[in-house]
Amino acid sequence: MVSIESQFHDQIDNHRSFADRDHRAISRYLALWRLRHRFHLERASAAPLNGVTGECLSQEEQEILEKKHVGYVNELGQIPSRQLAGAQIQIGIDQIMVGLGGVRWGLLYAGNGDFLSADCYHEFCFIPISPKYAYAGGFEDRSLAYDQVAEINKKSIASAQEFYFGNTLSACPVA
Query: Order of strands across the sheet with 126-128?
Result: 126-128, 133-137, 105-110, 142-144
Domain-by-domain residue ranges, the chain?
A: 104-175
Q: Classify 126 as helix, strand or coil.
A: strand
pLDDT, tens digit, 9 for 90 and up, residues 113-172: 999 999 999 999 999 999 999 999 999 999 999 999 999 999 999 999 999 999 999 999
54 touches 74 (CB < 8 A): yes
Cβ within 8 Å of residue 15, ≥6 positions away: 107
Lowest model confidence (mean pLDDT) among 1-15, 59-73, 136-150: 59-73
pLDDT, tens only, 71-86: 888 888 888 877 877 7
30-61 pLDDT, tens digit each? 999 999 998 888 877 788 888 888 888 888 99
Query: pTM to 2 decimals?
Result: 0.84
